[in-house]
Amino acid sequence: MDNQTNGNTATVTPKITVSNGSDNDPPEVVDAKQMALRYRLPYIDLLPPDKESPISYEELASIPVDLMLRNQFVPLKRDGRNLHVGMADPTNLERLDELENVLNVRIVPYVATAGAIDVVLRKGDATQRVMQEAASGFKISLVKETDQGDEILDLDRLASDSEMSPIIKLVDTIIYNAMESRASDIHIEAHDREMLVKFRIDGALYQKVDPIDIAYHQTLVSRIKVMSELDIAERRVPQDGRFRVRYKGRTVDFRVSIMPAAYGENCVIRILDKEQISEEFKNLSLEVVGFDPDDLRHFRVYIKEPYGMVLVTGPTGSGKTTTLYGALNEIRAEEDKIITIEDPVEYQLNGIMQIPVNEKKGLTFARGLRSILRHDPDKIMVGEIRDNETAQIAIQSALTGHLVFTTVHANNVIDVIGRFINMGVEPYNFVSALNCVLAQRLVRLLCPVCKREYRPSEEDFLEAGLRTEEVKN
């Protein structure tokens, strides 16, 4: 920094370093560097891979979180009255004036990417404080299904015990934090002296909440049981339930599984934000799923056959449903009637009749599939084949002129045969119905903001069990 003194007033002017970017920079970084060059402002990398973060977490803790989120900036350092900040759009003079008035400082702007700012505010060391502040005043509205439709319940009325009041806020905050973090699951684990809350984000578990005293554990689990309409007195056997809440104007489904363990009941909550994901899936195609080009070309041939069975296999959470939805999106046409039966309906697709399994009411995969065949479908999707009856009906449907999409839990293509034999299906029966079997796994993607080019050494290849000549070939 260069200091210029005029009387008793010191003005700090940042030393401008600009760059056109390199070929390896993500597009957002290239755009930010070009903006810095155009307006003669310094560019700042908020997430340097090999250097200390330039962010001042002391200043970060002193500025209202909603102000930083709304104006897309993070503080870098304070120098007298000058506050150096990384901003996504430092060209907005009206916003700069507003920040200077609110914070009573002189803003010295740097150009940063919006993605990096979002990572810092939502996933960095200050995540818990950010989310708790954002959740202040937040209140969950529970939605209960009735014969007359959905009824919104006031959760405060469900618990008259005064001890439940802080627990209500704690559960609401955990749910809010999970949805803001784009988590797919919430894990609540009981240990000897504490309770841990973890979120599964992009396939990995993160502890996003400080450990909670074990004394609150049973009350918190009871609260979740009340929301899921489970037996709060039963603590020795597993229980499964579900609840729905209203969040930002949309309905979000939660599936709850409670399992007794050594130090108390553990709870896993699966988040199914169907309305938000359905918006993202409107334009879903197999192009974005991540197939190898040759595999994609072969798969597209099989899904366009007039009849037969297209079977996708893989472990839980490997993206089987996403692949099938992508296939249905590609072959959907006005002249075809497409019906699905799923447990549950995870994403809503326009122009397709989707039926949720309800075993409590007697609507199983097998019974639903029989009814579907009486509705003159052209193409059918069965969420999962679990038993002999469902397998037999699906196979007969494929052999009698229907195109059937379905999934089976197996580790690879060969294991699918063993699974069908285990369900009591004769191999000659289902092999003649198959168009193709696709085995897949879900591969984690690199963060588009944080990723950097890396060239592994020969030692890295050897450690991974590869030889450099194999990789080159």
| Residue 134 confidence (pLDDT) | 46
SS3 121: helix
DSSP 343: S
Q: How far apart are the C-alpha atoms of 126 and 88, rounded to whole Å?
A: 19
Domain residue ranges in the chain: 2-125, 141-272, 276-439
In this predicted model, what pLDDT tens digit does every residue of 326-368 receive, in sequence order? 999 899 988 999 999 998 787 778 889 999 998 888 899 999 9
Residue with tokens 């639903």: 368
Class of domain 2-125: alpha beta
What confidence tens digit (pLDDT) does each residue in 100-157 have? 988 889 999 999 998 888 877 765 444 445 445 445 555 556 665 555 555 554 444 4
Nearest CA to 257 out of 244, 267, 243 is that of: 267
Measured in degrees and rounded to the nearest 5, phi and psi for residue 269 equal -115, 120
pLDDT band for position 468 (cuts 50, 70, 90): low
CB-based contacts of 408, cutoff 8 Å, min separation 6: 311, 313, 384, 385, 416, 419, 420
Strands (E), 386-473: 403-408, 434-439
Gap between the Cα atoms of 357 and 383, Å rounded: 9
Label residue 442 by pLDDT band (50, 70, 90).
confident
From the options 2.40.240.20, 3.40.50.300, 3.30.1360.70, 4.10.110.10, give the CATH code of 276-439: 3.40.50.300
> What confidence score (pLDDT) does residue 282 get?
61
Mean per-residue pLDDT, 72-91: 91
Task: Answer yes or no: pTM beyond 0.75.
Answer: no
Q: Please write the tens of the pLDDT for every residue from 222-277.
A: 999 998 989 999 999 999 998 888 777 777 889 999 999 999 999 999 988 766 66
Of 278 and 428, the structure prediction assigns the larger pLDDT to 428
Mean pLDDT estimate for the chain:
81
- Please state which of the four CATH numbers 3.30.450.90, 3.40.50.300, 2.60.120.1130, 3.40.140.10 is assigned to the domain occupying 141-272: 3.30.450.90
| pLDDT value, residue 395 | 94
CA dihedral 392, 398, 400, 401 (to 10 degrees): 160
In angstroms, rounded to a whole number, what is the distance separating the alpha carbons of residues 71 and 92? 10
Amino acid at 81: R
Rounded-to-integer distance, Cα 12 and Cα 4, Å: 7
The pair of structure tokens assigned to 425 is 């299906």
